[in-house]
A = this chain, B = another copy of it.
């Protein structure tokens, strides 16, 4: 059975395995399979990605956004969520939400032996900055200052 726009079968989309991170962070998230569902459906005000995270990999470095709410729904497998509150195990059917401006960084780690698939949703705001929470992660995402490139925490280029 085939569907057409405005409907979409995510598995008919080619998966991307790319990251804006420099090394050594890049190797902590790649390889991965990301299906850009929102882009494929012509959405511009919200971003919707479906991602498949392999065992041992991280969804991103731990971070928070100044202007974008973020929502994650686990579709398959299980993921460990890290925030200021510590670690929590999320199974399929569970979700998490990170309000814009809340300075409690988050990321997900697949500590299981199976791939985990999740939806990640946000509003899109060109003024958004992402701050990274872990002291060993020297990153900042601030498009207004850095022309859409990851920089070091002090704003200098990688």
Contacts and interface: CB of A to CB of B under 8 A. Distances in A.
B122 A46 contact: yes
A30 to B, nearest CB: 25
A87 to B, nearest CB: 10
Copies of this chain present in the complex amount to: 2
Interface residues of A, number: 49
Nearest to A11: B93
Nearest to A100: B45
A121 B7 contact: no
Nearest to A41: B97
Contacts of A67: 45
A94 B9 contact: yes
A91 interface: yes
A31 interface: no
A9 B73 CA distance: 10
A10 B44 contact: no
B8 A96 contact: yes
A101 to B, nearest CB: 10
30 contacts: A1-B91, A3-B88, A3-B89, A3-B94, A4-B88, A6-B85, A7-B81, A7-B95, A8-B94, A9-B93, A9-B94, A10-B93, A11-B93, A38-B71, A40-B97, A42-B97, A44-B99, A44-B100, A45-B69, A45-B100, A45-B123, A46-B69, A46-B121, A48-B71, A48-B95, A48-B121, A71-B121, A119-B119, A121-B121, A123-B124
